[in-house]
Structure 1
Amino acid sequence: MAKTRPKVLSIVLAGGEGKRLMPLTMDRAKPAVPFGGTYRLIDFVLSNLANSGLTQIAVLTQYKSHSLDRHISITWRMSTMLGSYVTPVPAQQRLGPRWYQGSADAIYQSLNLINDQSPDYVVVFGADNIYRMDVDAMLQYHIDSGLGCTVAGIRVPRKDASAFGIIDADQNHKITEFLEKPADPPGLPDASDESFASMGNYIFSREALVQALHDDAHSADSRHDMGGDVIPRFVNAADAQVYDFRDNEVPGNTEKDADYWRDVGTIDAYHDALPTSQRQRPSPTPAPSGSPAVGTPTVRVALSSPPASTWSLNVTHTVPKPMDSMTPTLPGYRRTASIRCAWESYGRGSSPSPESTTTPTWPASPAQ
């Protein structure tokens, strides 16, 4: 007899305002920001869920949601005959005239979705990261554990881990502590120079999640945040584990795709993720004599004859505005860096190389 598939409800948290992505979020929510052409940030998580066979998806929205709602309704149409759907759910204010107070409160105010569906497991994923994932593999890992909560974690260099929410886990992947941007991140049992960063993706057993949300809602000192408040409840009850994203295998993935994940919370992070998500390795072509050819982020200069020992070069990179009819006047932005270039000699004798390579240091925030 074929094994019965458990009932699963997927909830995508798509209410982010995205202030750090201005001006891209001037007229839309962060998950609706265009990316890589005709796609939106939310398409990555929806594609991961749908291709994993999880096709009952509620998208919780809040700020400036029209562009996002329209994109979902036009793009993500599924067969209702098979019970599949992707539906945007706005803030319903079922518990009073107030907005969501945090990601946990968003789910708590939308508990009718869980009560109506009565799933065995609830998948709760964020809506604004760039990655490919077989969510079904993580779901099976959660089911096999018998625990109430599983958190997806990605390995990051320990020296860079202070920028993330960090998971401290034992050798059996049982979470012992959940740390918010710690100054001294803990290493991994099998790699002391790496730490587990939370990807903001969770899978819960339904009863455990509902109880945790009720407890959080009645806690006066809670910020009602999934990562900051609800997950620590599971950790304190020894009821949470980490799923190592490195073990996730997506059919058709290449070595370059494996373990790829990017958070695009800022303009610079958004810009830097564009070429890598498309697997493009910038390879600037030498420019005509005396002119710079600008790549991202490397600059190569070809000259017909050696100049002075050093020279200055101004590099300007223009980020085009997204193609979105909702904001036809949204400008692109330019960021400029002045760099010093030194002539380098290679090979035998004193013959100089016709090319010199350097990397500009971009300003912290782009000039409008």
Structure 2
Amino acid sequence: MSKTTLTFVFATERGTPTALTQHRTKAAVPFAGKYRVIDFSLTNALHSGLRQILVLTQYKSHSLHKHLRDAWSVFNPELGEFITPVPPQMRTDSGWYINVLDALRQNRYLIERNTAETILLLDGGLVYRMDYAALIRWHREQQAEVTVPLRQLTPESTASRVRIECNEQEQIVACNPNEMANKTAGLAPMGVVLINRDVLLNALDQGLNEISASTHEEFMTLLIEPLLAQQRVFGYQFGGERGRVTPDRYWSDLASLDAYYQANMALLAAQPPLDLYQPDWNILTNQGQYPPARTVPGEHSGNEGIFINSMLAAGTVIRGGGVSHSVLFPRVQVEDGAIVDGAVLCDGVQIGAGAELRRCILDKEVTVAPGARIGLDIQRDQQRFEVSPQGIVVITKGCHVAAD
């Protein structure tokens, strides 16, 4: 299967939440205590036996390129395997990628020179687990030209601006704007398309590349809708019994700061919606050579360092502080008497003695002075930092937070 399907992962856009994409593309945003968002799509491909992967990059791509080098240099090029970042090559003109369709157009030569029968198109800025091998088998069983995995909209799921309609044979018959008031019913695309090679090349010839499309939903609509009358286009149930992934049916586009925060907090539930612990579907990432996380007594107070219902990554040390209901990435330091509650602390964050943090997100390398308070006085926080509509305080990468 590895050589019969060529995979494109789109990681070209800044995306949202914008406070976390000032220095990186959305696909490189840290998530769930140790991962980057793109790790989920790449892990799905790896476990699905896909070994030819092109990652299209553009916006502030250095962080993503470094991560791909450090975490994903796992394939053997001598066997025709690769994960290769592809920034704009400007082979057809001198422009950058305008959108995902234009990115495909500019890299048409990579499709033409590859012998793959099918092309898998993935949005690298989404979080979900899926066995693409089962999708590919189903695509062939149906003798489909195009297959679009679909998620079921519910009041608890991420809303969609697009609704997909299928007939009894699961063929897609309509791809319409979601005009329902709550936009939480029906079927929606999920940023994945499996398409036969010749069908994609013909579609690119028909001028689709001239249409602006910046989101996965717009992309799916503009690519798929013109093909409905010409090709066998099928929907595919996401989260069904096919494949080797435990069907947690979790999917998130992390479309806002609040969505990003809630997605991290949900991982702390007794029954988290996203299964990170399936033994044969472990999520791969770059593992720094850090010592184990630990708690130690405070140097001056003698208070024990404690953590309750939290994730602690390697290299984290809690010295007499208290951490509850929080997600701590590698190398976080929480000093004596500090209180951290309901926080997401990214790699290298330093929390000074006696500081107090509640309901906040701190990007990489943020330092918090002793005695500083974050998330307790929203009006004051709004004068200093970005605050989400639901009151989550966000401090961008490398900032120093002074004491009140």
Relative to the length of structure 2, the TM-score reads: 0.66
| Alignment partners' CA distance in 1, 2:174 and 2:96 | 30
Match of 2:149 among 122, 130, 152: 152
Query: AA paired with 1:170?
Result: N
Aligned residue identity for 1:269:
A
Equivalent pair of 1:316/1:337 in contact (CA under 8 Å): no
Secondary structure, counterpart of 2:22 in structure 1: coil
Counterpart residue number, 1:49? 45
Matches within 5 A, 1:270-289: 270-277=260-267, 280-281=270-271
Which consecutive residues of structure 2, in runs of 5 or more, have no partner in the other structure?
273-307, 310-322, 327-339, 350-362, 379-387, 395-404
Give CA-to-partner distance per residue, 1:148-185, whole Å, 9 cap, x none.
21111011127978534221111211111112332369
CA contact (8 A) 1:216 1:229 kept: no
Q: 2-side partners of 1:5 and 1:70: how far apart? A: 25
Please tell me whether residue 226 in structure 1 is matched to residue 184 in structure 2: no
For 1:84, the equivalent position in structure 2 comes to 81
Residue 237 of structure 1 corresponds to: 230
Partner AA of 2:188 in structure 1: A
Match of 2:98 in 1: 101
Q: Deviation of residue 266 (structure 1)?
A: 1.4
Match in the other structure for 2:250: 260
For residues 184 and 213 of structure 1, what CA distance do their matches in structure 2 show?
Answer: 34
Q: Is the 8 A contact 1:337 1:363 kept in 2?
A: no
SS of equivalent to 1:247: coil
User: Per the alignment, do residues 92 and 329 of structure 1 end up closer, same or farther by CA in structure 2, a change over 3 Å counting?
Assistant: farther
d(CA) in 2 for partners of 1:271, 1:58: 30
Listed as ranges, the matches of 1:1-368 within 5 Å are 7-18=4-15, 20-77=16-73, 78-157=75-154, 163-183=160-180, 194-217=185-208, 222-224=211-213, 226-251=219-244, 253=246, 257-277=247-267, 280-281=270-271, 317-323=342-348, 328-329=365-366, 335=375, 363-364=389-390, 366-367=392-393
CA RMSD of aligned residues (A): 3.4
> Which whole-Å CA distance do the structure 1 matches of 2:324 and 2:366 have between them?
27
Please state how far the C-alpha of 1:226 moved relative to its aligned partner.
Answer: 2.5
State the Cα distance separating 1:194 from its structure 2 match: 4.5
- Structure 1 segments, 4+ long, off by >6 Å, are 158-161
Map of 2:280 onto structure 1: none
TM-aligned CA distance change 1:327 to 1:185, over 3 Å: closer
1:237 shift after superposition: 2.5
Residue aligning to 2:359: none
Shift of 1:101: 1.7
Structure 2 counterpart of 1:268, one-letter code = D
Check 1:248–1:184 CA distance in 2 against 1; reply closer, same or farther (3 A cut).
farther
Q: Per the alignment, do residues 144 and 5 of structure 1 end up closer, same or farther by CA in structure 2, a change over 3 Å counting? A: farther
SS state of the match for residue 123, structure 1? strand
Counterpart of 1:85, as a letter, is F
1:293-315: CA deviation from partner (whole Å, max 9, x where unpaired): 9858xxxxxxxxxxxxxxxxxx9
Report the alpha carbon displacement of residue 278 of structure 1 after superposing the two structures with TM: 6.3
Contact 1:153 1:197 in 2 (8 A): yes
| Partner of residue 300, structure 1 | none
Q: Bigger radius of gyration, 1 or 2?
A: 1
Q: Is the 8 A contact 1:108 1:217 kept in 2?
A: no
| Number of equivalent positions | 304
TM-score, with normalisation over the residues of structure 1? 0.72
- In the alignment, is the contact (CA less than 8 A) between 1:216 and 1:230 conserved in 2? no
Aligned to 1:358: none
Gap regions ≥5 residues in structure 1: 187-192, 286-292, 297-314, 339-361
Identity of aligned residues (%): 27
Question: Structure 2: which amino acid aligns with 1:25?
Answer: T
